[in-house]
């Protein structure tokens, strides 16, 4: 499909926001996924195409964070297998399901993330909790489930990755955020292979968003290791998730008259 320059520019800017948010906090897809739908893609294609900016931002951010030596690579590699396996299963599930309204499930996931952020994560950030990381069978099973959501619909998947790394693995927030970016690379790539095999990806819009997301990922990587990183990460997570809830609630309200008719 051919797109005019204005549409491609919108895609680049949306990719920039997506890459920055995913790197510094999460939920960048709250920007990029609705933009892809607004540009005319059907839900399955939008869900598939959205993986390109997520992947490129993850690669860019991970490279910069690796250079800054903030990634615990051995632990990240151990988590990669279960979370990627879950992502493949999630992408296959997304392709097998008919294109229908998933807003109820998305709203529930967003609400749970917000509740967790406003309770336990706030305490962890404020107390700067550190401890010996743990990763056993229980944590591996948890990351399979997180990967399943990442493959199915990436929206808020990075939030759940971050929460699992902080709560279950007990990583400090800055390290958890770095590992989150590393894990987004194999999980997104694996899901993309599934979607690409079904011809669901719009490569033109996806690559335009990807260009923006690489810049956003680079900027976000530098912000995420700054002295004010904790304030940035927590504040952006809360702001974006509250925005998502407002947007989803407004969509429900707009649909009510049609349902009544």
Lowest mean pLDDT among 95-104, 141-150, 202-211: 95-104
Bigger pLDDT: 255 vs 221: 221
Integer CA distances (angstroms), 219 to 14, 57, 222, 251, in order: 15, 10, 5, 32
Widest distance between CA atoms in the chain: 58
Give the confidence band of 32 by pLDDT, cuts at 50, 70, 90: confident
Kindly give the interhelix angle for 103-116 and 157-167, rounded to the nearest 10 degrees: 30
Six-digit token string for 192: 């993309």
Which pLDDT value is given to residue 255? 60
- Whether 129 has a pLDDT exceeding 70, the answer reads no
Integer CA distances (angstroms), 76 to 66, 124, 145, 163, 225, in order: 12, 21, 17, 15, 18
Nearest by Cα to 19 from 41, 45, 50, 44 = 50
Print the domain residue range for 72: 5-260
Lowest mean pLDDT among 26-30, 43-47, 99-103, 181-185: 99-103
Six-digit token string for 7: 């549409």
Which pLDDT value is given to residue 42? 84
Lowest mean pLDDT among 10-14, 17-21, 149-153, 223-227: 223-227
Integer distance in angstroms from the first to the last C-alpha of the chain? 35
Can you give the length of the chain in residues? 261
Bigger pLDDT: 100 vs 208: 208
Average pLDDT over every residue of 107-126: 63
- Between CA 35 and CA 91 the distance in angstroms is 21
Which pLDDT value is given to residue 256? 59
Which pLDDT value is given to residue 128? 44
Which pLDDT value is given to residue 87? 97
- Whether 99 has a pLDDT exceeding 60, the answer reads no
- Between CA 8 and CA 96 the distance in angstroms is 29
- Whether 189 has a pLDDT exceeding 60, the answer reads yes
Share the mean pLDDT of the chain: 82
- Between CA 164 and CA 167 the distance in angstroms is 5
- Between CA 162 and CA 83 the distance in angstroms is 13
Average pLDDT over every residue of 81-97: 92
Integer CA distances (angstroms), 54 to 14, 20, 62, 130, 203, in order: 11, 10, 12, 29, 14
Number of domains present in the structure of the chain: 1
* For the chain, counts of helices (H) and of strands (E): 12, 0
Asked if residues 209 and 15 have their Cβ atoms less than 8 Å apart, the reply is yes
Give the confidence band of 218 by pLDDT, cuts at 50, 70, 90: confident
């Amino acid at each position: 499909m051919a797109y005019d320059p204005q549409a491609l520019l919108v895609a680049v800017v949306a990719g920039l926001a997506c890459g920055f948010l995913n790197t510094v906090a999460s939920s960048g897809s709250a920007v990029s996924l609705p933009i892809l739908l607004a540009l005319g893609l059907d839900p399955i294609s939008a869900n598939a195409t959205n993986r390109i900016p997520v992947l490129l931002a993850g690669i860019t951010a991970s490279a910069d964070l690796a250079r800054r030596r903030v990634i615990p690579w051995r632990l990240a590699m151990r988590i990669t297998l279960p979370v990627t396996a879950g992502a493949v299963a999630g992408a296959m599930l997304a392709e097998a399901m008919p294109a229908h309204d998933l807003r109820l499930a998305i709203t529930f996931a967003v609400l749970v993330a917000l509740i967790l952020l406003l309770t336990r994560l706030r305490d962890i950030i404020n107390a700067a909790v550190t401890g010996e990381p743990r990763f056993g069978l229980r944590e591996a099973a948890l990351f399979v489930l997180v990967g399943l959501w990442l493959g199915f619909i990436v929206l808020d998947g990075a939030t759940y990755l971050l929460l699992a790394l902080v709560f279950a693995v007990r990583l400090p927030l800055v390290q958890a955020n770095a590992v989150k970016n590393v894990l987004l690379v194999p999980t997104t790539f694996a899901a993309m292979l599934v979607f690409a095999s079904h011809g669901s990806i719009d490569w033109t819009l996806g690559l335009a968003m990807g260009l923006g997301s690489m810049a956003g990922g680079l900027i976000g990587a530098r912000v995420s290791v700054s002295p004010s990183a904790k304030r940035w990460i927590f504040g952006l997570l809360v702001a974006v998730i509250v925005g998502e809830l407002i947007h989803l609630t407004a969509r429900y309200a707009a649909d009510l008259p049609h349902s009544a008719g």
